[in-house]
Amino acid sequence: MLTSLKGRSVIVTGGSKGIGRGIARCFARAGVKLTIAARHRAEIDDAVAEMNALGATARGAICDVTDYDSVRRMVDEAAAAQGGLDVLCVNAGIFPQVKMVDMSPEDWDHVMATNLRSTFFTVKAAIPHFEKAGKGRVVVTSSITGPVTGYPGWSHYGASKAGQLGFIKTAAMELARYNTTINAVMPGNIITEGLQGLGEDYLKTMANSIPLKRLGVVEDIGNAALFFASDEAGYITGQQIVVDGGQILPE
Ligand code: NDP
């Protein structure tokens, strides 16, 4: 049994949908104070209502993670509303599929800005709050695609997700002085709206290729995030855990 996170102050970027919503649910059940940050108000409100029903004290924040001022405002307001910041989940991300031959420089930049530059923005904005508290936890949602595997159409996405793992190594060293850890979860194929858009054939083929014979559910990632955020994980930093049902294991 992990020490309770009840009353801790948590931010989940991209917490309105998909994996972020699953992460938010796991923290909500632990009774945390929670900010759900994303761009679309209706989905944020829907997620906030669900998290409050599950046991959180939740609030929503409109934030575009590609814009540093927007991120800094969101983090500062969350910390002010929740009495500080204990856990930052850097999860917002996109995965448009475009083969390199059709990919424009703008396509590349947009994915890098949303997935990777935003990781730096969000962690940087949280540093003063971790410094003030003398402790903190950061959990980054990376992927197996990029760091471990490839997939046609995801060269920009894969680079951004591998970049996040490179980022956390040095970030871990710099955050250590604030008694703050940073780690990453690397999901395999997790059932979300975004993944469903890739089509039934893709999903079926994927599920069959996974040793545990199923796609992941969003709470599989939330539970790993919960562990990294726990007191018990306090001596783990700059690391990553693959949550993929065994997908990347060799035959
Ligand atoms: P979804 O599309 O279901 O959700 C994405 C979330 O990110 C939404 O809440 C969305 O809200 C938010 N978001 C997107 N762009 C921005 C932005 N510019 N500013 C703020 N928020 C933004 O995706 P998933 O849940 O599938 O993906 C979440 C993370 O998990 C990503 O980092 C992805 O790389 C990673 N991942 C997903 C896998 C999967 O199988 N689904 C596998 C491996 C990794 P809004 O649009 O309102 O801004």
Condensed to tens digits (0 to 9), the pLDDT of residues 33-44 reads: 999 999 999 999
**Beta-carbon neighbour count of residue 117 at 10 Å?**
16
**Does ligand 1 have an atom closer than 6 angstroms to the CB of 78?**
no
pLDDT surpasses 80 at 6: yes
Q: What is the mean pLDDT of residues 53-60?
A: 98
CA-to-CA dists, residue 163 to 115, 116, 181, 247, angstroms? 9, 7, 18, 21
Q: Which of 51-60, 138-147, 188-197 has the lowest mean pLDDT?
A: 188-197
pLDDT of residue 101: 98
- Of 21, 176, 28, 14, whose CA–CA distance to 90 is shortest? 14
Question: What is the spatial distance between Cα 16 and Cα 45, in angstroms, rounded to a whole number?
Answer: 8
Give the pLDDT of residue 195: 80
pLDDT value at 93 more than 80? yes
Report the Cα–Cα distance between both ends of the chain, in Å, rounded. 34
Q: Is the CB of 117 under 6 A from ligand 1?
A: no
Tell how far the Cα of 251 is from the centroid of ligand 1, in angstroms: 30
Q: Which of 192, 206, 214 most suits a substitution to test ligand 1, by most atoms within 8 Å of the C-beta?
A: 192
Per-residue pLDDT band for 2 (boundaries 50, 70, 90) equals confident
Q: Which residue in the list 68, 151, 157, 235 is annotated as catalytic? A: 157
Give the pairing of strands 9-13 and 87-90: parallel
Q: In the structure, what pLDDT confidence band is assigned to residue 46 with cuts at 50, 70 and 90?
A: very high
pLDDT digits (tens, 9 = 90+) for 111-131: 999 999 999 999 999 999 999
Lowest mean pLDDT among 18-32, 39-53, 185-199: 185-199
> With a 6 A CB cut-off, is 221 part of the ligand 1 pocket?
no
- The predicted pLDDT at position 206 comes to 87
Domain ranges of the chain: 9-240
Q: Does the Cβ of 187 fall within 6 Å of ligand 1?
A: yes
Is pLDDT above 90 for 65? yes
The three state secondary structure string of the chain is: CCCCCCCCEEEEECCCCHHHHHHHHHHHHCCCEEEEEECCHHHHHHHHHHHHHHCCEEEEEECCCCCHHHHHHHHHHHHHHHCCCCEEEECCCCCCCCCHHHCCHHHHHHHHHHHHHHHHHHHHHHHHHHHHHCCEEEEEECCCECCCECCCCCHHHHHHHHHHHHHHHHHHHHHHHHCEEEEEEEECCECCHHHHCCCHHHHHHHHHHCCCCCCECHHHHHHHHHHHHCHHHCCCCCCEEEECCCCCCCC
Check: CB of residue 59 under 8 Å from CB of residue 36: yes
Enter the ipTM: 0.99
Amino acid present at 171? A
User: Is 128:84 a contact under the CB 8 Å cutoff?
Assistant: no
Pocket test of ligand 1: the residue of 35, 48, 94 to mutate, having most ligand atoms within 8 Å of its CB, is 94
| CA 64 to ligand 1: nearest atom | 19
The hierarchical CATH code for the domain 9-240 is 3.40.50.720
Angle (nearest 5°) at CA 137 between 72 and 1: 145
CA 55 to ligand 1 center in whole angstroms: 23
235 annotated active-site: no
Asked whether the predicted pLDDT for residue 69 surpasses 90, the reply is yes
pTM for this predicted structure: 0.97
